[in-house]
Amino acid sequence: MLDVIPTVRATSVRSSPRPWKRPEAAWSNISHTGGKRPYTNRRQASQRISQIQIGNTPIVELDRDVLLLGDYNTMGRDDAPPVSAEAELAVFDTELAPGFRRLPMTPTCTEYFEGKAGALDHIVASTGMQEMAATARVTGYCALAGCAPIAGAMPAAAERLSDHCPVVVEIQDRDLD
């Protein structure tokens, strides 16, 4: 059986109807399933971020200002040899497609699973983008709990809305390059 390497899906989102150039933003979800090698698949997908197309045009050709926001599923793996989530994230940063970087976030967790905090959601930006803040902030119960383990029942937001917390990045509404 052949393993299928997942593609990175992107949907264009523009935040302002201003007539001047605006940053391109896209949502992504790099799957944690899809064959016997989901960890390897995620690594290969992060290396191909610069190949994402909107229409038939690579995003890096549309604009120097590119944001990719979403669930990158950087959860590590349990099968042999095991890889911790922290180790996968370090590899993600070193193997990210050329011309892109991951924006640091405070606090560092973006979701909770079985009461434990994790960092699955990330903001990846083109290195030339000057219009955004240097860091993003995570809000909701991730910020309230400070990424500490949550014993007992999860907050209502986790039960009713999502196990992922909102991630906010400030972007200036003007083109600086």
**What pLDDT shows up at residue 30?**
59
Percentage of residues in the chain having pLDDT higher than 70: 79
Q: How many CA atoms are closer than 13 Å to the CA of 96, on its beta-carbon side?
A: 20
177, part of any domain? no
4, part of any domain? no
What is the extent of the structural domain holding 95? 11-168
98, part of any domain? yes
Percentage of residues in the chain having pLDDT higher than 90: 32
Closest CA to 142 of 173, 98, 111: 111
- Contact call for residues 31 and 73 (beta carbons, < 8 A): yes
146, part of any domain? yes
Give the total residue count for the chain: 177
| C-alpha torsion sign, points 144, 150, 152, 158 | positive
**Residue 86 region, left (φ>0) first, then alpha (ψ -120 to 50), else beta?**
alpha
DSSP readout, 51-100?
G-EETTEEHHHH-S-EEEEEE-----B-SSSPB-HHHHHHHHHHHSPTTE
What domain count does the chain have? 1
pLDDT in tens, 115-172: 999 999 999 998 888 898 889 999 999 999 999 999 999 888 888 889 999 999 999 8
- Higher pLDDT, residue 57 or 145: 145
174, part of any domain? no
1, part of any domain? no
Rounded distance between C-alpha atoms, residue 87 and residue 104, angstroms: 16
2, part of any domain? no
Rounded distance between C-alpha atoms, residue 119 and residue 68, angstroms: 16
